[in-house]
């Protein structure tokens, strides 16, 4: 998986958390989140801030044993006027915890893949800030810009999670649903070069595999990297008026089936 420069990822976590906080303030604490129907803005802010503080504790303490993961969660301030400062502090805390020194230190990685724990958490936290930033923006009816290289890195992270050693344990139904007999899907970012903006998936009997690059596929979904990311994380639909900048060539049902069975973002 091609990863963002670590400093760029840390900076993006702070910037997207700030944007999320601004959207939350514009929407108001009781506003419904249309892209996460079970949540209000209060739930969204609490989740993001608690997650950032929780992960910061894991990395700061160099926790490697999942049985020792923190049990207590940070408390959301009762006054919504304090939420922007609270989120700013949680974002700054966690990017400080993800220091250069911590990058390859022993830290628990829930995916069980080849990444160090801290590198896993950086990608996961950036995904949280970007995708939930879109949730907050949708609630406030505000636009959300996502740099193409950030979106591409998060698409790679998304696919890495779905094919990680622990996905079968965490999401057995999903793992079973995305097995196949050779069906292929191509995701193609039109605003990036093929070596960084193309993802080819093959669904086999033992589960899916993926690689960067382009190959003939049963279905090809193309569009800006931002739109691909938000579609893969089920924040935007595959077809219809909201998917105007996406093009689907081939077996649309195959692509939709993949989306219907691969959610792993909270909410």
Contact at 8 Å (CB) between 255 and 185?
yes
Looking at residue 245, its pLDDT comes to 95
Looking at residue 267, its pLDDT comes to 42
SS3 234: coil
Looking at residue 1, its pLDDT comes to 41
DSSP 84-98: HHHHHHHHHHHHHHT
Q: How do residues 233-243 score in pLDDT, each as one tens digit?
A: 999 999 999 99
Q: How far apart are CA 139 and CA 122, in angstroms?
A: 25
Residue 68: partners with Cβ closer than 8 Å, 6 or more residues away: none
Looking at residue 3, its pLDDT comes to 62
Q: How far apart are CA 24 and CA 252, in angstroms?
A: 34
Task: Give the number of other Cβ atoms within 10 Å of residue 230's Cβ.
Answer: 26
Task: Give the number of other Cβ atoms within 10 Å of residue 192's Cβ.
Answer: 17
Q: How far apart are CA 238 and CA 185, in angstroms?
A: 14
Residue 203 has phi, psi (to 5 degrees) of -95, 110
Q: How far is CA 266 from CA 39, 40, 160, 200, in A?
A: 10, 13, 17, 25
Q: Of 260, 217, 210, which is closest to residue 238 (Cα–Cα)?
A: 260
Looking at residue 117, its pLDDT comes to 97
What are the beta bridge partners of residue 201? 185, 210
Looking at residue 195, its pLDDT comes to 80
What are the beta bridge partners of residue 200? 186, 211
Segments in the chain below pLDDT 50: 1-2, 265-267
Looking at residue 194, its pLDDT comes to 77
């Amino acid at each position: 998986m091609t990863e963002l420069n670590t400093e760029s990822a840390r900076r993006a976590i702070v910037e997207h958390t700030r944007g999320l906080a601004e959207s939350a303030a514009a929407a108001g604490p009781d506003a419904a989140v249309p892209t996460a129907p079970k949540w209000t803005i209060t739930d969204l802010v609490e989740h993001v801030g608690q997650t950032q503080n929780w992960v910061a504790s894991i990395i700061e303490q160099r926790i490697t044993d999942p049985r020792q993961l923190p049990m207590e969660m940070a408390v959301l301030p009762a006054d919504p006027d304090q939420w922007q400062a609270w989120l700013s502090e949680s974002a700054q805390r966690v990017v400080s915890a993800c220091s250069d020194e911590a990058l390859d230190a022993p830290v628990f990685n829930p995916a069980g893949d080849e990444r160090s724990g801290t590198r896993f958490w950086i990608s996961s936290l950036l995904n949280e800030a970007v995708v939930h930033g879109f949730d907050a923006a949708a609630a406030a009816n505000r636009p959300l810009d996502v740099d193409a290289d950030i979106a591409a890195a998060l698409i790679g992270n998304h696919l890495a999670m779905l094919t990680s050693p622990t996905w079968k344990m965490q999401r057995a139904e999903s793992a079973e649903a995305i097995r196949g007999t050779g069906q292929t899907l191509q995701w193609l970012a039109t605003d990036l070069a093929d070596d960084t903006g193309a993802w080819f998936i093959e669904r086999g009997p033992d589960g899916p595999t993926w690689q960067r690059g382009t190959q003939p596929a049963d279905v090809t979904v193309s569009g800006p990297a931002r739109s691909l990311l938000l579609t893969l994380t089920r924040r935007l639909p595959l077809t219809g008026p909201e998917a105007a900048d996406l093009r689907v060539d081939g077996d649309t049902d195959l692509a939709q089936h993949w989306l219907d069975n691969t959610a792993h973002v909270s909410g």
